[in-house]
Amino acid sequence: EHFIGRIDKLDGQINSFITRDFDNAIAHAKTADKLRADGDARPLLGVPMAHKDNLCTKGVLTTCGSKMLHNFVSPYNATVVENIASAGFVSLGKLNMDEFAMGSDNEKSYYGAVHNPWDTTRVPGGSSGGSAAAVASGFIPVATGSDTGGSIRQPASFCGVTGIKPTYGRVSRYGMIAYASSLDQAGTFGKTALDCAYLLEPMTGYDNKDATSINRPTDSLVADILAADTTSDKPLAGKKIGVAKAYFGAGLDGEVEKSIRAALAKYEELGAQIVEVDITDPAITLATYYLLAPAEASSNLSRFDGVRFGYRCENPKDLADLYTRSRSEGFGEEVKRRIIMGTYALSAGYFDAYYIKAQKVRRLIVEDFLKAFEKCDIIASPTAPTPAYKLGESLDPASIYLGDVYTIGVNLAGLPALSHPVGMANGLPVGLQLIGKHWAESELLTTAHVYQ
């Protein structure tokens, strides 16, 4: 009731929820109370949370931020939704996002922009802007998100909360509406690394319904964090944190850089050693991502044809008209831009020159990361080059894409990474990104916890 009251009172200013599922939530909370009284010992039983609206929820609207799915009610739950419910969490509803998770400012949602709770004239980041803003506003302690190129980490940075994207294959993608399947991964938001871990731990694990789910034992994230040494002088002694010059180049806001440098100094005080590493030129990584992600998106989004799901145009003349108008009317500008870019990259005449070339560069980006990790345990960088910018600033698409420069390499390489708040730049939060080796979620969360 506390959280529902807060949402009712304040979300008019933030717009973080697309669907409020409060009646069900109250019923689930009452059941949780009863179960608790009867001896159910699940530690997270009854804890409120909410889902990004690209995770399918049985019986509850799943819009993906799009007009295309304005009336779509999934007949099944995504595996992560199922796992989170089994841990006892209570979902309060579905959170706003950029349409089909394409965007960095949450202004690309059919359901209206989300406002940053630190300054409601500014963007919350995206595409999981609703998740980040809801946690920052105290509407829910934790939320799910998804990250294809930074969509958890960048809004976490803009809203001053913690957010983690796990290793590719760690969390099932079954029931998460696909943007770019080889890059998509669900993860969590919380005020702290520990809160992120509480929600992430039950989400992880093998799922035979997702062909890219990896079958390996999952970590005890929460127990690892609680066992971390936070009392000694140098709890991070022996840990090597890699810093790449390429992450401090042109485009990085001066105030953001100051906060990041101060955070690195604090990590040194905690005993970590800062070492220099090389990573792929971020401009190359950016170009690679913005070929591959739209290529996969153009293929994934072909299923929205007005026949099987969601929006259908009025009075189609024939089948071609049905497809064309349903898609023209159902998709927003940014989604159409991605479909066109992706279709172009995949078309017969350009496939080798663009798509295949980008796949080869992707391989080199992975190798560069693995080489960097021979010299360090974790790589640190700014999460985003700037703090949250003004809503309606109408930046051109290419400058918005530039803002993803520090986060997208991680997805191309399938690595885990988090963003945690480290300071303020002109009154707005700044996040530090920590990138780990494959499967190092526990190490990342524990390190951020020691800092926090």
Only one of the segments 99-107, 211-219, 316-324, 418-426 lies at the binding site for ligand GLN (rule: CB under 6 A); that segment is 99-107
- Considering only 7, 90, 101, 417, the residue that binds ligand GLN (CB under 6 A) is 101
- Considering only 88, 93, 117, 150, the residue that binds ligand GLN (CB under 6 A) is 150
Mask: binding to ligand GLN, 25-64, rule CB under 6 A, as x and -? ----------------------------------------
Annotated catalytic residue 52: yes
Q: Choose between 101 and 301: whose C-beta lies nearer to ligand GLN.
A: 101
Kindly state whether residue 177 participates in binding ligand GLN, applying the rule CB under 6 A: no
- Considering only 65, 88, 93, 103, the residue that binds ligand GLN (CB under 6 A) is 103
Q: Choose between 141 and 403: whose C-beta lies nearer to ligand GLN.
A: 403
- Considering only 210, 404, 441, 443, the residue that binds ligand GLN (CB under 6 A) is 404
Question: What is each CA distance from 350 to 6, 291, 299, 345, in whole angstroms?
Answer: 52, 11, 16, 6
Kindly state whether residue 127 participates in binding ligand GLN, applying the rule CB under 6 A: yes
Q: How far is the CB of 3 from ligand GLN (least distance, A)?
A: 26
Catalytic residue among 109, 128, 151, 326: 151
Q: How far is the CB of 196 from ligand GLN (least distance, A)?
A: 17
Q: Choose between 102 and 279: whose C-beta lies nearer to ligand GLN.
A: 102
- DSSP β-bridge partners for residue 48: 90
- If you count them, how many residues does the chain have? 452
- Considering only 17, 139, 174, 179, the residue that binds ligand GLN (CB under 6 A) is 179
Q: Choose between 7 and 286: whose C-beta lies nearer to ligand GLN.
A: 286
Query: What's the rounded Cα separation, in Å, for the pair 178 and 185?
Result: 10
Q: How far is the CB of 393 from ligand GLN (least distance, A)?
A: 16
Q: Residue 144: CB partners within 8 Å, gap ≥ 6?
A: 49, 50, 51, 52, 55, 80, 84, 131, 186, 187, 188, 189, 199, 203
- Considering only 48, 149, 310, 382, the residue that binds ligand GLN (CB under 6 A) is 149
Q: Choose between 84 and 97: whose C-beta lies nearer to ligand GLN.
A: 97
Kindly state whether residue 300 participates in binding ligand GLN, applying the rule CB under 6 A: no
Mask: binding to ligand GLN, 181-210, rule CB under 6 A, as x and -? ------------------------------
- Considering only 25, 50, 92, 102, the residue that binds ligand GLN (CB under 6 A) is 102
Q: How far is the CB of 422 from ligand GLN (least distance, A)?
A: 21
- Considering only 148, 204, 213, 259, the residue that binds ligand GLN (CB under 6 A) is 148
Q: How far is the CB of 404 from ligand GLN (least distance, A)?
A: 5
User: Looking at beta carbons, which residue is closest to ligand GLN?
Assistant: 151
List binders of ligand GLN among 213-252 (CB under 6 A).
none
Amino acid code (one letter) for 402: L
Amino acid code (one letter) for 216: R
- Considering only 104, 116, 285, 447, the residue that binds ligand GLN (CB under 6 A) is 104
Only one of the segments 147-155, 265-273, 384-392, 430-438 lies at the binding site for ligand GLN (rule: CB under 6 A); that segment is 147-155
Query: Residue by residue, what is the 3-state secondary structure of the chain?
Result: CHHHHHHHHHHHHHCCEEEECHHHHHHHHHHHHHHHHCCCCCCCCCCEEEEECCECECCEECCCCCHHHCCCECCCCCHHHHHHHHCCCEEEEEECCCHHHCCCCCCCCCCCCCCECCECCECCCCCCHHHHHHHHCCCCCEEEEEECCCCCHHHHHHHCCEEEECCCCCECCCCECCCCCCCCEEEEEECCHHHHHHHHHHHECCCCCCCCCCCCCCCCHHHHHHHCCCCCCCCCCCCEEEEEHHHHCCCCCHHHHHHHHHHHHHHHHCCCEEEEECCCCHHHHHHHHHHHHHHHHHHHHHHCCCCCCCCCCCCCCCHHHHHHHHHHHHCCHHHHHHHHHHHHHHCCCCHHHHHHHHHHHHHHHHHHHHHHCCCCCEEEEECCCCCCCECCCCCCHHHHHHCCCCCHHHHHHCCCEEEEEEEEECCEEEEEEEEECCCCHHHHHHHHHHHC
Catalytic residue among 16, 66, 104, 127: 127
Q: Which positions touch ligand GLN (CB under 6 A)?
A: 101-104, 127, 147-151, 179, 293, 404
Active site residues: 52, 127, 151
